[in-house]
Each structure stands twice: as structure tokens, then as C-alpha cells.
Amino acid sequence: MEIWVLNGPNLNMLGIREPDIYGRMTLADLNAMLTETARELGAHLDFFQSNHEGALIDRIHAGYGRGLAGAILNPGGLTHTSIALHDAIKAVDYPVVEVHLSNVARREPWRSHSYVAAAAVGTIAGLGWRGYELALRYLVGVAAERG
């Protein structure tokens, strides 16, 4: 069972960037934690981070037709701007769970709107790194049920 973990702009700066909001865990720490959970669940993860919208879109397209159980996507700031990311998710044949470390609904008003949300199967926000783990458990659970 394969699941992709996709992180957008500035998420390579986790641990350094606004730690009061995003915590002190680095992206490498987060990926290591997810790898451990995936091992327990019998899933294989593939990690990708880019600061470039087009690179993320190419990566989403690359998952098409591979029988992925799904993808976990934190689109970063592109959440609030990218119709193209919305369209890319709609174009592929696997479920995408949108994850945000912070509770975007409690921050600046412009963070409350997500172009990705209407294309994603669901959204988890405000639960920190645990949101990624919950998304992973969700995707594994759904894929296992499907058989």
C-alpha cells in the first residue's frame, strides 16, 4: 500500500519558521515519525516537498494510475491561492487529504478559504504533526476496507 506525503512552500523551514505556530519539529522529524507509523500499519510512504506550484502539480499528476492508496497534502500558502492545485487533485484517481499544522480558521481571515478543500476528500487542520498521522491512518483504513 503506497501513500504519498506532499508538502508545499515553506514547509522545508519547519522547526525554524514561526515555531510558536508550527512547532519545533523539522520536516525530517515529521517524515521519520510518519515512516514509523506507516511501518506499523504496513504502508509505504514516499515524501516530496517543493516551494514551486508547478512541481507540486507535476507530482500530483505523477501519482495517476499507480494504484496509490492516497496522498497527504499540506499545500502551505498555495492553499489560499491555487485553483491549479485544486484542478490537479480533481484530475487524479486517488484520494487526497488536505492537512494543515495550524488551525487556519483561527488565523488571518484570508487563511480561512482553501481552494484545495473542495477537491480533497477531507481536511485536517490545527492538530499539528498529529494531523498527518491521522490522515495516514484514514487512508490506510479506507484502502484496507476496499481490499
Q: Does 77 bind ligand DQA (CB under 6 A)?
A: yes
Chosen residue from 76, 94, 96, 140 binding ligand DQA by CB under 6 A: 76
Q: How far is the CB of 24 from ligand DQA (least distance, A)?
A: 14
Angle at which helices 27-41 and 130-146 cross, to 10°: 30
CA distances from 83 to 86, 95, 137, 139 (A): 5, 18, 27, 24
Provide CB contacts within 8 A for 17, sequence distance 6+: 10
| 23 binds ligand DQA, rule: CB under 6 A | no
Site string for ligand DQA, 115-134 (x = CB under 6 A): --------------------
Active site residue 52: no
Residue 15 has φ and ψ, to the nearest 5°, of: 95, -30
Q: Which residues bind ligand DQA (CB under 6 A)?
A: 10, 74, 76-77, 79, 100-102, 104, 111
